[in-house]
Each structure stands twice: as structure tokens, then as C-alpha cells.
Amino acid sequence: MSSGTEQDEDRFRRVYAEDFESLLAYALRRVAHPEDAADVVAETFLVAWRRRRDIPIAGAARLWLYGVARRVLANHHRGGVRRQRLGERLRQQIAASAADPGSEVPERLAVRAALAGLPEVDREVLMLTVWEGLQPHEVAAVLGVSPAAVRTRLSWARTRLRGWSVTIRGRPDMYSTC
């Protein structure tokens, strides 16, 4: 190791020891959760380690670290805003598509009981077609069978389900929610 590198590492260690607490206090006053402050300080010192040759000598190091921490905090806050917006959009989508699950229980039970009476491959063909919206050639690719076999098994499954008084045409609501 060269003496320049050793000096940079020693300076980093000194700066870390001298300024960790003040930097943590700085971050704690600017975030909502203590664990976020710990992340900010860790990221700040990671930047400092990577740029240890740029750390100013003497008392200016703490001011330099505050500048780094300020930029890290800005990134942290932008990320938080993005996460909040994404979470809100997701909550709105879920609320818009979610019906009262209690109202669907009898239909779900009937569909599950009917599906349980089918052979495994027929059940998978039916679920991939109705629930996942796949075409016969796509189902064939998933299951490793021919599209003709998929169409035949789909027809058999529909016929068997008619005995359960369950009608499968296209994508009825009770199938798309199970």
C-alpha cells in the first residue's frame, strides 16, 4: 500500500470518528424514522469512502460531509415521494378492482369444488384459459402439448363442468375472481 493511500484511509478513519455523531444528529433531525437517519449516514460515509481523496483537510471535512449528507437526504426524500405515489396508485387500483370478498365466497367454493373434480391437466388447461386469458396455442406452449390437445381438453373440461351447473363462456366474473 502506498503512503498516499494509507494517508487517505487514515484521514477517512479520523473524519469518521470525529464527525459520525454530529452527522447522525444532522440526519435524525431531517428524517421521520431513526432507521432512515442510519441509512443516510451510512450512504454519506460510503460516498466519503469512495471519494476519500477529495475529503478536505482539517475542519472543512465536516462541512464537506454535511454537503454530501444533504444530497443523500435529497435523494432519500425524492425516493420516499416516489414510493408514496406508487403506493397510492396501487391502493387506488386495488380499491377499484376489489369487491367485497364475502359476497364471492359461495361462488368461489362452487368453482373450486367443480375444478377439484377435473383431472389435473384439464383443470390447468381451463384455469390458464379462463383465469389467465391465454389462447390455446399459448396454453400448449406452457404445458408442452399440442394446441389441438388443449382445445380437446378444454372442451372436455367445459362439458364436465356443465354437470356442476357451472357455465364457462369467455370470462365470467365468478371465474376471474377465484
What's the pLDDT tens digit per position in 13-41?
999 999 999 999 999 999 989 999 999 99
Task: State how far the Cα of 52 lies from the Cα of 89, in Å rounded to an integer.
Answer: 41
CA dist., res. 122 & res. 144, Å (int): 14
Share of the chain above pLDDT 70, in %: 84
pLDDT number for residue 102: 62
Q: Measured between alpha carbons, how far is 105 from 25 in angstroms, rounded to an integer? A: 53
* Reported pTM: 0.48
pLDDT (tens digit, 9 = 90+) per residue, 48-78? 999 988 888 867 888 999 999 999 999 998 9
- Measured CA to CA, the distance from residue 14 to residue 58 in angstroms comes to 10
Per-residue confidence (pLDDT) for residue 150, from 0 to 100: 92
